[in-house]
Amino acid sequence: MQIRTTARHFDLTEDLKSFAEKQIGRLGRYFDNIIDSHLILDMEKSRMTAELKVKVYGTVLSSKHRSFDMYDSVEKVIDKMETQLKKYKAKLRDKKAKKTSAIKEQMNIPEEEGKLKEWS
């Protein structure tokens, strides 16, 4: 997974960058096929905004959070992205299950025939 970090209107410290990369690395536990992630950190007066865009196979997921602390914004945006990745993974899993059941219906294979029978 490629991780890009952009800071707007402030200088990005090494501590904040390593913290953000560590948090983004956690997303690999929830979805294996993450292609690219882009974290945009923005500061307007006292408002800190973190926006995360994650490119996965087939779509781009995005989340955004504002607070008065940049570390808090990064944590919250990662939590939102974890939720989105879990939902996306479940959606793909359901789609695959429907596809395999449709193929079995077309081939007229009853459910019992595909299972092994026990001998008495």
Q: What is the DSSP letter of 3?
A: E
What ranges do the domains of the chain cover?
Answer: 2-107
User: C-alpha distances in angstroms, 46 versus 6, 20, 72, 90?
Assistant: 18, 20, 13, 38
Residue by residue, DSSP assigns 21-85 as HHHHHGGGGT-S-EEEEEEEEEEETTEEEEEEEEEETTEEEEEEEEES-HHHHHHHHHHHHHHHH
Q: What is the pLDDT of residues 31-45, one digit of tens each?
A: 888 999 999 999 999
pLDDT at 61: 96
What average pLDDT does the segment 45-62 reach? 94
CATH architecture of 2-107: 2-Layer Sandwich (3.30)
Tell me the two tokens of residue 22: 């560590």
Q: How confident is the model at residue 102 (pLDDT cuts 50, 70, 90)?
A: confident
Task: Band the pLDDT of 83: cuts 50, 70, 90.
Answer: very high
